[in-house]
Amino acid sequence: MQPRSPFRAIVRGTLLALLFVAVLVAVWEGAKALGGDPWRFKDAAGNETVYRPPFAWPIVSDLSLPHVWKIWDALAAPVQRQQAQSLAGFLVGAAVYTGREAALGFLFGGLLGLALAAGFVHSKLAERAFMPYIVASQTIPILALAPLIAFAFGNGLVGIVIVASYLTFFPVTIAQLRGLTSPDPRAVELMRSCAASRWTIFWKLRMPASLPYLFAALKVAATASIVGAIVGEGNPGGSQFGLGRAILNFNEQYASGPEKLWAAILAAGLLGLTFFLAVRLMELFALRGRPQAAVG
Amino acid sequence: MTDARSALATRGSGAPVVVVKGVSKTFESSGGRTTALENIDIAVAPGEFVSLIGPSGCGKSTLLRLIGDLTAPSAGSITVNGKPARQARQDRDYGIVFQAPVLFDWRTVQANVALPLEVKGLARSEREDRVKATLDLVELSDFARHYPYQLSGGMQQRVSIARALALRPSILLMDEPFGALDEMTRERMNSEVQRIWEQTSTTVVFVTHSIPEAVFLSSKVVVMSPRPGRIVRVIDIDLPRPRTDDTRETARYFELITAVRETLRGRAGRETPGDVASAERTLAEGAVG
């Protein structure tokens, strides 16, 4: 019945994640060894040998699924011919750029979601009036909306942050409203019985009770904000930088260098993971001491 | 009161703490209008322990909630400490205990007990002193830093009693506080509540389903009937205090249990012992006095 130590949870989580990566690489290369394209390697004696897989499956050909080591090599190679910067360095820069936009979108979207939920919990009328539009807003594909936002707010940071916020405020609004209304009605009566104001009830009861719901939503929002930032950058005439632009460029160059697109996807994935882990760390801190079921 | 002990000498006398006059409560729903309570008169003297007992639907919990100003009456008036119930709530005259402990699971035991003190805005040092004293009273000082989920159901309920007592309320409202506990724990909790009641000067209004519990704890048992909720009879409980486990084996205890039970069955006046009948009086009389 002791609260789980956050440190042990993190170590265990990291080990499991590394194990998963190892299994993924093994399956990936195993599939290529069975049905990929032939490849050359140097044997123990230093002679160049050709390995020929027994089958030929198009889905694991070098064009569809480059070797893991090719992606690794590409990361160290220059991003373009005659450029000093390596692909890895370029992707880190792009990820930082995109991460900044996503973090701002996460922040503003999260705050908007919190504010809307706080408003709705105190006014059923406001909830009835606005909730249908909030739900409807999410049925519009972001791909259709992003160019409109870019048109209105320009191709710079502001437009991209708005796209990212647009994807993040919704899960936060819905989950936070659920969280703020989660306390037992008797807990609210208890607060009223000692003459607590709405404000006090909000900060001492509703807000702490909502945290497990909030963090569940923030995990969704953390990754959604990155999707939003990447989509925002990828707009026609969108950003010149960032992972979104890199993904579009490497997509065009796919036939000549599939490793680059895979590397960019890997970078986007790692950025998402970083965001997710940051939220998870905040959650472990904010929910310390609570029963394990609430910490998740 | 037959008990001469000084701590109890003033109990049951003086201006009533709670006066309920001509109170009715109706609920409107799609199925029509339900009368939960009809023309209730009741008066509770300082330091009294009054139990409300009756079958489901007799409105005993509603009456408790009306006294605590958690809901408003459809007719009639409720006065607490000589002021309207709303004012009494604003003045923090109440402590309340529900059937479930309703502890805040993100707060430790001591932080849960401190909650009403924080709401009142007491300084930290005063809060700490009061929390310590209150936890001593319910004998949970060793668990001050535990979280609610680390405690048994009975201990959780003691924490919620401590929380209700933290503001030193003049009136403690308890809504079937031990309804969810097993029989053994319940008896232990009853002795505990009795001890706490004797150590504090709190007036208690206690809702229960359990006849033995009502008889063991109360100075007065208010028997109610359903549809619409009415007071059938008020039975004075003259068992000597302090009441102990031995009290539960006395003949008088069983007589009083029988009296309450038969009143609940609607056979009052025919088979109740004469001395119980003479001890009985309506709460309306008490309200005037």
Q: Is the pLDDT of residue B164 over 50?
A: yes
- By C-alpha distance, the chain B residue nearest A211 is B106
Q: Are the CB atoms for B260 and B53 separated by under 8 Å?
A: yes
| Structural domain boundaries, residue B257 | 14-87+218-288
CB atoms within 10 A of CB B49: 26
Confidence grade of residue A5 (pLDDT, cut at 50, 70, 90): low
Torsion of Cα atoms, B75 then B81 then B82 then B88, to 10°: -60
Q: Render pLDDT for B102-115 as a digit per residue (tens, 0 to 9).
A: 999 999 999 999 99
Q: Which two tokens stand for residue A126?
A: 């406001």
A141 at B interface, C-beta within 8 A: no
For residue A63, CA distances in Å to A57, B188, B235 come to: 11, 76, 91
For tokens 């490497």, name the residue: A250
Q: What radius of gyration do chain B's Cα atoms show?
A: 19
Residue B57 lies in a domain: yes
CB contact under 8 A, A194 and B98: no
Residue A23 to residue A34: CA distance in whole angstroms? 16
Kindly give, in sequence order, each residue whose CB lies less than 8 Å from that of residue A126, ignoring residues fewer than 6 positions away.
A119, A120
pLDDT at B2 (0 to 100): 39
A289 and B106 within 8 Å at the Cβ level: the answer is: yes
Q: What is the pLDDT of residue B266?
A: 78
For B265-285, the pLDDT digits (tens) are: 875 544 444 444 444 444 434
ipTM of model: 0.82
Which residue of B lies nearest to A195 if distances are taken between CA atoms? B90
Q: Which of A2, A186, A192, A194 to mutate to test the interface with B (most CBs of B within 10 A)?
A: A194
How many CB atoms are closer than 10 A to CB A118? 18
> Using 50, 70 and 90 to split pLDDT, how confident is the model at A292?
low
Residue B14 near residue B205 (C-beta atoms within 8 A)? no
Domain assignment of residue B150, yes or no:
no
pLDDT at B11: 64
Give B-chain residues touching A191 at CB under 8 angstroms: 119
pLDDT band at B213 (very low <50, low <70, confident <90, very high): very high
Report the gap between the CA of B33 and the closest CA in chain A (Å): 23
Please name the residue ranges forming H helices in chain A. Answer: 6-35, 68-76, 87-122, 124-137, 142-153, 157-180, 185-193, 198-201, 207-233, 242-252, 258-286, 292-295
Instruction: Answer whether B115 sits within 8 Å of A209, measured CB to CB.
Output: no
pLDDT at residue B192, as a whole number: 87
Q: Is B100 on the interface with A (CB under 8 A)?
A: yes
pLDDT band at A240 (very low <50, low <70, confident <90, very high): confident
Kindly list the distances between the CA atom of residue A145 and the CA atoms of A134, A152, A162, A163, A236, in Å, as whole numbers in the listed order: 15, 11, 11, 8, 12
Report the CATH number at residue B20.
Answer: 3.40.50
Give the closest of A187, A194, A287 to B167, CB-based: A194
What digits encode the pLDDT tens for the residues A154-194?
778 898 999 999 999 999 999 999 999 999 999 999 999 98
Q: Is the Cβ of B145 closer than 8 Å to some Cβ of chain A?
A: no
Q: Is B162 a residue whose pLDDT tops 70?
A: yes
Whether A172 and A113 have beta carbons less than 8 Å apart is answered as yes
| Residue B283 pLDDT | 43
State the CB neighbour count (10 A cutoff) for residue B241: 18
pTM: 0.83
Q: What pLDDT shows up at residue A4?
A: 58
Selecting from B70, B105, B115 the residue whose C-beta is nearest the C-beta of A291 gives B105
Residues of chain B found within 8 Å of residue A189, distances taken between Cβ atoms: 70, 96, 98
Residue B149 domain flag: no
What local confidence, expressed as pLDDT, does residue B38 receive? 87
Q: Which CATH number fits domain A66-295: 2.40.50.140, 1.10.3720.10, 3.40.50.720, 1.10.510.10?
A: 1.10.3720.10
Q: Return the closest-CA partner of residue B267 out of B219, B223, B229, B228.
A: B223
Q: Which tops the pLDDT comparison, A295 or A24?
A: A24
Q: For residue range B179-200, list pLDDT tens digits in order.
A: 888 888 888 888 888 988 988 8
Question: Average pLDDT of chain B?
Answer: 84
Cβ separation A209–B70 shorter than 8 A: no
**A285 touching B, CB under 8 A?**
no
Closest by Cβ to A193, choosing from B96, B149, B150 = B96
- Note whether A211 contacts B: Cβ–Cβ < 8 A: yes
Q: Taking CB atoms and an 8 Å cutoff, what residues of chain A touch B106? A: 208-209, 211, 287, 289-290
How many angstroms separate the CA atoms of A26 and A34, rounded? Answer: 12
Question: What average pLDDT does range B128-155 have in this prediction?
Answer: 91
Q: What is the mean pLDDT of chain A?
A: 90
CB contact under 8 A, A208 and B106: yes
Specify the DSSP class assigned to residue B1: -
User: Average of pLDDT values for A39-52?
Assistant: 86
Residues composing chain A: 296
In a domain, B5, yes or no: no
Q: Is residue B286 over pLDDT 60?
A: no
Contact at CB, B106 and A189, closer than 8 angstroms: no
Radius of gyration, CA atoms only, chain A: 24
Q: Mean of the pLDDT values across residues B31-37?
A: 84
Tokens of B204: 């208690």
- Nearest residue of B to residue A199 by CA position? B119
Q: Give the one of B115, B116, B150 whose C-beta lies nearest to A1's C-beta.
A: B150
User: Which tokens is B32 given?
Assistant: 């029509």
Average pLDDT over residues A265-273: 94
Q: Report CA-CA distances (Å) from A240 to A144, B80, B82, B186.
A: 20, 72, 75, 72
B132 to chain A, any CB pair closer than 8 A? The answer is no
Provide the domain count of chain B. Answer: 1
Q: Is residue A293 scored above 80 in pLDDT?
A: no
> Strand, helix or coil at A41?
strand
Partner residues linked to A48 by β-bridges: A42
Average pLDDT over residues A27-35: 94
Chain B partners within 8 Å of A209 (Cβ) = 104, 106
Tell me the pLDDT tens digit for each residue of A84-116.
889 999 999 999 999 999 999 999 999 999 999
- Residue identified by tokens 């989580």 is A13
Domain boundaries, chain A: 1-61, 66-295
- Residue A214, chain B, CB below 8 Å: the answer is no
Tell me which of A55-59, A109-113, A236-240, B253-257 is least confident.
Answer: A236-240
Tell the burial category of A54 from Cβ atoms under 10 Å away from its Cβ (0-12, 13-18, 19+): exposed
Q: What SS3 state is found at B91?
A: coil
pLDDT at A296 (0 to 100): 53
Across the interface, whether the CB atoms of B102 and A196 are under 8 A apart is answered no
Model confidence at A30: pLDDT above 50 = yes
Q: Do B106 and A195 touch (CB under 8 A)?
A: no
* Lowest-confidence region among A32-36, B35-39, B108-112: B35-39
Min mean pLDDT across A7-11, A12-16, A148-152, A234-238 is at A234-238
pLDDT number for residue B276: 46
Residue of A nearest to B105 (CA): A290
Q: Provide the edge-to-edge strand list for the sheet that holds B18-29.
A: B32-44, B18-29, B75-80, B83-84
Contact indicator for A113, A213 with CB cutoff of 8 Å: no
The band of A6, judged by pLDDT with boundaries at 50, 70 and 90, is: low
Mark yes or no for CB contact A195/B90 under 8 Å.
yes
Show residues of chain B in contact with A1, CB under 8 Å. 149-150
Those residues with Cβ within 8 angstroms of residue B156's Cβ, 6 or more apart along the chain or in another chain: B101, B103, B148
